[in-house]
Amino acid sequence: MRDVTRLAKAHLHVHLESTVRWQTLHEIGAANGVEVPSHLSDGSTVFSGFRQFADANAVIRGCLLRPEDFTRIALEFCEDEAAQGTRYAEVTFTAAAHGERLGDLGMPLAAVLSGLEEGQRRYGIVCRVILDHSRRRSVERAWSTLKLATAHEEVIGIGMAGEETYPLAPFAEVVDAAKEAGLRLLHHAGECCGADSIREAIHIGHSERLGHGVRVLDDPELVAEVRDRRVPLEVCPSSNVILGVAESLAAHPLPKLREAGLIVTVNTDIPNMMGISLSDEYARVRDAFGYDDTVLAEFARAGVDASFAPDALKARMHREITEWLAQPTR
């Protein structure tokens, strides 16, 4: 087995607010007069469902009040990802929700972009931003998200996230406008709900990838459509386990997704809730399913190809993956 931290990787599905170091969160919380419950930071949290996770995540969001808070977590994101072999990341951030909460729509995103700019310079990683919007929230806020996205070239796309029991259809005009503006569309679908959620994301939402997408296996016809359209899946196995989508890592449908000929990428989603990195997730997948390094390299290549990284960076990452496979095993 080769050192997975040395494998060049693209990280396509990760929420910035769910990457915050616990020590950083405690320090920010203390500075802002917000108490962080100790049980959230012991790395063993298992949630009964998405709503319980969302409530825990709200505690993290509530600590972030000042521009320097957002800048710091973005800078540390770059440092942590680079240390794990991530060369390129598309990090998701709920900018409009923070902006409305703090009474300054543009401040959180501007502060995050400042941190990412410095982090890229320091750590040699390339980052782009996806702005997400909860399906539970208003269409008006979704328009605010689109406005923010079009104002910054570092933002490459928007997506609908949150509880899939709330439909994507009310946001059809927003996603149509985003597509017209040249933004990428990347929606969560097929995590907690099934085939209808995925079809809605593809046909109404014009989604170019599926955030999670693991429930595609519920419908053989949909499997064929997603395969034929070559829509990549942003699979987050450990997240699926702690959110109750899969009973265990061993029971996760990832091998069946591969066997169905679907494009599978490996991601973390909410790494701080699990106490893991992207390299850890690759290692967990390897151990759970008995994959060798050749398969891990396939996941890495799929991530590169499914990303919106510049072509020159994609080519360099493919070379680095080939070089990694050429190294002797431990």
- Chain centroid to CA 189: how far? 13
Which pair of structure tokens corresponds to residue 61?
A: 């969001």
> How many Å apart are CA 165 and CA 38, to the nearest integer?
31
191 carries an active-site annotation: yes
What DSSP designation does 269 have? B
The answer to whether 157 touches 184, Cβ cutoff 8 Å, is yes
What DSSP designation does 214 have? G
Residue 276, C-beta contacts closer than 8 angstroms, at least 6 positions apart: 238, 268, 284
> How many Å apart are CA 203 and CA 175, to the nearest integer?
11
Paired strand residues for 86: 9
Residues 91-107, buried b or exposed e (16+ Cβ, 10 A)? bbbbbbbbbbeeeebeb
Residue 69, C-beta contacts closer than 8 angstroms, at least 6 positions apart: 28, 32, 63, 111
Helix (H, G, I), strand (E, B) or coil at 19: coil
- Chain centroid to CA 11: how far? 7
Q: Which of 17, 90, 191, 234 is catalytic?
A: 191
Instruction: Cite the active site residues.
Output: 191
